[in-house]
Amino acid sequence: MTTPPVCDYEGSDYQTSFWDQGGRQYEDRAEAIALKQLLPARGRLLLELGAGAGRNTSRYAGYERIVLLDYSRTQLQQARARLGDSSRYVYVAADIYKIPLVDELFDGATMIRTLHHMADALGALTQVRRVLSPGAIFILEYANKLNVKAILRYWLGKQSWSPFSLEPVEFAALNFDFHPRATKQWLEKLGFHVEKTLTVSHFRIGFLKRRLPAGLLAALDGLLQPSGALFQLSPSVFVRASLGNTPPNKSTIPPLDVNVLDYFRCPACGDHPLQNRNEYLLCTGCGKKWAVRDGIYDFREALE
Ligand SMILES: C[S@@+](CC[C@H](N)C(=O)[O-])C[C@H]1O[C@@H](n2cnc3c(N)ncnc32)[C@H](O)[C@@H]1O
């Protein structure tokens, strides 16, 4: 199966340069406020797609176990250094287009600042849909092409692409902005019901960020976020979508004492279960071996 190229963060200092030293306390706090509004109080098993260095993971405290999935092993190593080894966290290196997890496994999923690397957004969302159980909650953040700055630049002739058209815009290699209506249409096509939409990072303007404290800007952002129900003109949009109206049926989500290895399926042929050979997982369907190294289940490329 051919899948789109991956924006590879292997070896990247993204967490340090973009967040810790990149002057983005305001955006981080604004996202925390949005997540608090959207996350259910409790859940069993959450899939964090494009988890990166685990910046948001501790915010998912209501869930009993969290599977952090990211294509970058080094991002996951940073997440593991931050969160530690326990039965609460499972680290999985894999491509979102080939999620190595069985169908209908999770009652929750989040995908924050990750859809914007997807050349085939609908294909990626289709994979997410596959691993969610009926009634599951999906919290999706996407970069909004219909933001005020893009609209002004377009009207002033400083930007060639239209923020009003539905197709995604690739503003840098493997970096995409999406139209809110297109994103909603994809989710609905996959059977999601969009329950809540929040606009986030309204004040992503250097001038304001230099002059006002991050906490104050984030609090003001929090007041504006609910306006996302009416219109979306901010650079970042968070949606809470559910699969059907009934709450997840907990009996379909494996209890925590189920072996984590039962979560996996072969990303190459889809076979399940995989056999545990300690240093690797063996797929008896196609014979591929998937490494287990340094606490990370690695499904990027097979050992042989
Ligand atoms: C901008 S970072 C966001 C990390 C984290 N969600 C956050 O908000 O701090 C995007 C993450 O998506 C991951 N990613 C990009 N394409 C991916 C793919 N096809 N499969 C899995 N992860 C991917 C990258 O490795 C990176 O860690």
Residue 25 sits in the same domain as residue 159: yes
Residue 247 sits in the same domain as residue 271: no
Residue 182 sits in the same domain as residue 36: yes
Residue 92 CB less than 6 A away from ligand 1: no
Q: Residue 226: its pLDDT value, please?
A: 98
Residue 194 sits in the same domain as residue 294: no
Residue 7 domain-assigned (yes or no): no
DSSP state letters, 245-257: SSPP-GGGSPPTT
H-type alpha helices, 170-297: 180-189, 206-211, 214-224
Residue 249 sits in the same domain as residue 275: no
Residue 275 sits in the same domain as residue 250: no
Residue 63 domain-assigned (yes or no): yes
Residue 303 sits in the same domain as residue 186: no
Q: Domain total for the chain?
A: 2
pTM (whole model) above 0.75: yes
Successive 10-residue mean pLDDT values, the chain, 304 residues = 92 95 96 98 97 98 97 98 96 98 97 98 98 97 98 97 98 97 98 98 96 97 98 98 78 77 97 95 97 97 90
- Cα(175) to centroid of ligand 1, in Å? 11
Residue 180 CB less than 6 A away from ligand 1: no
Residue 113 CB less than 6 A away from ligand 1: yes
- Cα(246) to centroid of ligand 1, in Å? 30
Residue 298 domain-assigned (yes or no): yes
**Domain, as residue range, for 287:** 264-304
Residue 177: which CATH number?
3.40.50.150
H-type alpha helices, 39-155: 73-83, 121-130, 148-155
Residue 2 domain-assigned (yes or no): no
Residue 9 domain-assigned (yes or no): no
- Cα(109) to centroid of ligand 1, in Å? 14
Tokens representing residue 193 in the block: 């019901």
Residue 107 sits in the same domain as residue 135: yes
Residue 15 CB less than 6 A away from ligand 1: no
Q: Residue 304: its pLDDT value, please?
A: 72
Residue 240 sits in the same domain as residue 298: no
- Would you tell me how many other CB atoms lie within 10 Å of the CB of residue 180? 21
Q: Residue 249: its pLDDT value, please?
A: 66
Tokens representing residue 170 in the block: 């690739």
